[in-house]
Amino acid sequence: MISTKKHSQQLAALLLKKGITDIVISPGSRNAPMIHTFHGISGFNCRNIVDERSAAYFALGLSLAKQKPVAIVCTSGTASLNYAPAVAEAFYQNIPMIVLTADRPDYWIDQAESQCIRQEGIYSNFVKKEVSLPLGESEKELWFAGRQINECLNLATSGNPAPVHINIPFEEPLHDLTDAELPDVKEIGFAEIQSLISPNELSDLAETISQSKRIMILAGQLNPSPKLENALAKFVAKTGAVVFHEHLSNFSNPDFCGSIDALMAAILEENAAEYCPDLVISMGGQFVSKSLKQFLRKNKPAGHWYLSLGGEHFDTYQSLTKVIQTEAADFFESLSGQALQFNSDYLHVWKNKEAKVNQLRDEFVANIEFSDLKAFELIGKNIPENTVIHLGNSSPVRYALILNRVKNAQYYSNRGTAGIDGCLSTAVGFASESDKLNTIILGDLSFFYDSNALWNKYISTNLRIIVIHNGGGNIFSMIKGPGETPAFQEHFFTGNTHKAEVLAKAFGLDYFSATNEIELAQSLDEFYSPKQQQAALFDIFTNAEVNVVLFRELFRKVKG
């Protein structure tokens, strides 16, 4: 049985034709026609999550795991506003989310009718396209709606993928059903065009590269891509360029440089001239490292090329000179086929410095007392290889990036907007579709903020949640500024003494805890044991004051 509403029928038929079959539904009344139709068609995989904010982040994680668009469906009113944080995150991570919001007829908007808000254009800054379908169901109105739906679904996955929003007003009755099949609808195709560099332009680029003695390649946040990593390795072998990446770039090549913050701290005390690049080539999303951005803004290269299929002009380092509209893997593969000048000096300077910095870091961490830094060291050594790791924002992502990455692990984090509000929900959504063990490491405030992530029936047994209880917003103790102000203790640090144990038990998770190094080491063995067949949560309690002292001392150590 499906809804008698023709717009919901046409929408469902087009989603199927485009291969978009995963639907995350939040219960409501005005979205009933969509619920009935998606539920009544066997081709859709529908999931139900009450909290719209959590549901949207869950869908974001699900889309990352499947590398396909996922549709989210909510009722009218503030339900649609609760999608906004995840829609913004998806926009800045280039994740193709299909946002479907039910609405009241426009004649009831601003007329003191319940669950009525101005829904048209609510995500206008964070979607590729946003349309509101007509209320009527005449032949011309259905033709118009079909064209709009086709355009939205095509744009979501073309070029740089991004969310799209389809707002659908429905009149009562909302629950009339029919045994009819979905209508035969017209699908409008969308031909993808490969953006190739012309032979003349390729020759000019190769000449510039050969004339540049210090080439720095910056790989921001990226999905795992062996093709890109292999193309970069060839380019490095032919030019002697240095590749900077963080765990979220999902590279593992030992010839690349990954200890960014520690490296930056070390060279700032030296003569930076020998480290400054002539040419920077960047790609992907953001870097977590603020010190890298500061270094390059202070020591601007003569040239900066940004690689992007969407053609964005990201001038992060205030030195952008060229935008190259192509896939990064194709770019480096094409250039590796050119005659290029090899210069290993610049790469050796950075790799030698990195080796020294890593040695100092490892010696320091091996001998410190129990703290966040020590806990992350032990966690990293115990997480099994070839698994998935999700990093919460604020201090967890920074601690994790200081230390070595887990071998063959995939790393993800909500670094599009870098908020703490949906880290757990995203990991839960990803893990629900993953055949690998998934670990999410987040702070105590992030966990409690997003605890509704556990309020659904899709918590898979492969999920491991690690909550770092450092007493509150410990990130504000680590960065310069807030810690020296009168408002720090109450309004920045926001102390937290609550444990996650009761919530873990309420949602059926196994619970672990540790307050010292011995307890942590012993419990991690059990936490990651093959015998652990249930989703589990691990509370790790550290001292905020000790954390801050050791974090700052680490960077003083590598400077020395």
| Domains, the chain | 2-173 (3.40.50.970), 199-353 (3.40.50.1220), 368-559 (3.40.50.970)
Measured CA angle at 211 (ends 208, 212), to 5 deg? 90
> Is 205 in a helix, a strand, or coil?
helix
Residue at token pair 């410990």: 474
Pairing of strands 45-48, 22-25: parallel
> Is 214 in a helix, a strand, or coil?
coil
Q: What is the pLDDT of residues 81-107, one digit of tens each?
A: 999 999 999 999 999 999 999 999 988
pLDDT level of residue 487 (50, 70, 90 thresholds): low
Which residues are CB-contacts of 533 (< 8 A; sequence separation ≥ 6)?
A: 461
Q: Which residues of 420-456 are buried (b: 16+ CB within 10 A; e: fewer)?
A: bbbbbbbbbbbbbbbeebbbbbbbbbbbebbbbbbbb
Specify whether the backbone of 77 is left (phi greater than 0), alpha (psi in -120 to 50) or beta. left
Q: Classify residue 523 by burial, with Cβ atoms within 10 Å: 0-12, 13-18, 19+.
A: middle
Whether the pTM exceeds 0.85: the reply is yes
CA 484 to chain centre: 32
Whether 203 has a pLDDT exceeding 60, the answer reads: yes
Residues 57/23, Cβ–Cβ less than 8 Å? no
| pLDDT (0 to 100) of residue 482 | 59
Nearest partner of 285 among 254, 245, 323, judged by Cα: 245
| pLDDT (0 to 100) of residue 475 | 61
Residues 34/170, Cβ–Cβ less than 8 Å? no
Whether 476 has a pLDDT exceeding 60, the answer reads: no
Q: What is the pLDDT of residues 401-427, one digit of tens each?
A: 999 999 999 999 999 999 999 999 999
Whether the bond into 96 is cis, omega within 30 of 0? no
